[in-house]
Structure 1
């Protein structure tokens, strides 16, 4: 009888320990809630500029670089500056090929020899070893995941839509494959209040939100552009709420 009573008391304590200050029950994940901000493609100069603007927030990001062989020495130097600050420089394919289509047509070995290994060699030769990969076009399937997760510790796909925060797919879930939600203003789901609602949900439920963008600009004039105001809103929220800025590679060791 005493054992039963002790068991019930312990159960109540566990339930209360999993309830945050807002009265919401959350799963204890063992890591600090936060955000992963990522950028795709080869907008190196724009990335360097936005870094200077966002430095006061203490931000960290992951920059997925494509077409590495076309970068000039100044751009490679800018990538080193970003890395030295604490950002992650990661891989986005040598020629921005569609992984799913290419592997379906030519096979995994041809894809690796054409798109991945030459890129890795160039990045390593420039002391910018890549530990993570993001799919061009977000184009992936189980086959491509199996191929690329043998080469990289973390792989990022994409997700879309303005789902309720509890149903979104852009949170880290303990897997080496993660999905980011786009911040570019051209996406139908674009909404700064919505992005902040995801951060609020992450804060209250011990989660990490993953976002991606392409070209950061002060004023949006085309597709694949994210304005500074959006990035400031996200970074300020993270800083104000004592959340953490993660890089994609940080997730591998959580």
Structure 2
């Protein structure tokens, strides 16, 4: 129900005249969020972190940080046809470390536009088949998929699930803007859709933690605690690891912020999940 309401809001947010509908939507979500009961157990409580695009060297440099906290994550790789021999070695090592290699499209295309203009078969032949074949050649068969730009339709989801993906990840943001003006900042702890309830669901949302999303350390710690308290897995994602403020078109997350997340998850004794483990976790 929450996903349907959220999709309705997205489809109807076309201008200033829709702001009241937008705010009403979040009032409904807040009401639904307030009705959740706390489970008796937290044995499955965890965190699923993923990273998108093709920042292989930067991801590889995070290995000591992941090892420090015994963390396992998912890397959603795009443009696998451009992998260099060095990148192949590194991505295979990350997989050997226990991380998952997911798929993020061959050309990072907009599924909604591709299906509308080219049809299902062309979408498969352009966005899915070539990249999956490239990965198969190096022994990687992805079972999780992150929608490029969060663009997808029910048709795209159906195609991906039929082609063997166990879980499909969409994008959630704590802050949205309209005409460059911040419309809301929605605390992650009440965004129920970013918590996986272990209901075998295959279409999920992860909260973006990149710079500019304006999520505070206090908010992320509260959100992680909610995962513990509700026996769910909080889903987060980012792009390029950054060691200072982004510049020259960079987009990514603060490595220091990532360590805050890993440290808090460890302190809360949360399990680290890869994305494909979520729908099959027992």
Q: TM-score scaled by structure 1?
A: 0.86
Deviation at 1:195, TM superposition (A): 1.6
Match of 2:169 in 1: 156
Q: CA deviation at 1:196?
A: 1.6
Deviation string 1:154-213 (CA, Å, 9 cap, x unpaired) is: 1100111243423432111421011011010122x4322212211111111111100010
Q: Give runs of aligned pairs for residues 87-126 of structure 1, distance below 5 A.
A: 87-126=99-138
Kindly state the Cα deviation for residue 220 of structure 1 after the two structures are TM-superposed. Answer: 2.6
Could you tell me which of 193, 199, 217 is aligned with 1:169? 193
Residue 35 of structure 1 deviates from its aligned partner by 0.6
Larger Rg: 1
Equivalent-residue separation in structure 2 for 1:130 and 1:25 (angstroms): 35
- The count of residues paired between Structure 1 and Structure 2 equals 230
Q: Which runs of 5+ in 2 are unaligned?
A: 1-35, 175-184
State the secondary structure of the residue aligned to 2:205: strand
Separation (CA, whole Å) in 2 of partners of 1:90 and 1:194: 28
**What is the rounded CA distance, in whole Å, between the counterparts of 1:201 and 1:159 in structure 2?**
17
Question: Following TM superposition, by how much is the alpha carbon of 1:112 offset from its aligned partner in structure 2, in angstroms?
Answer: 0.6
Q: How does 1:1-254 map to 2 (within 5 A)?
A: 25-27=37-39, 32-151=44-163, 152-161=165-174, 162-164=185-187, 165-173=189-197, 174=199, 175-187=201-213, 189-222=214-247, 223-254=250-281
Q: CA separation of 1:42/1:167 partners in 2, compared to 1, >3 Å: closer, same or farther? A: closer
Measure the CA separation in 1 of the matches of 2:39 and 2:245: 38
2:19 is matched with: none
3-state DSSP class of the match of 2:193? coil
Provide structure 1 residue ranges, at least 5 long, that are not aligned to the other structure: 1-23
Q: Which deviates further from its counterpart, 190-199 or 203-212?
A: 190-199
Tell me how far 1:128 sits from its aligned partner: 1.3
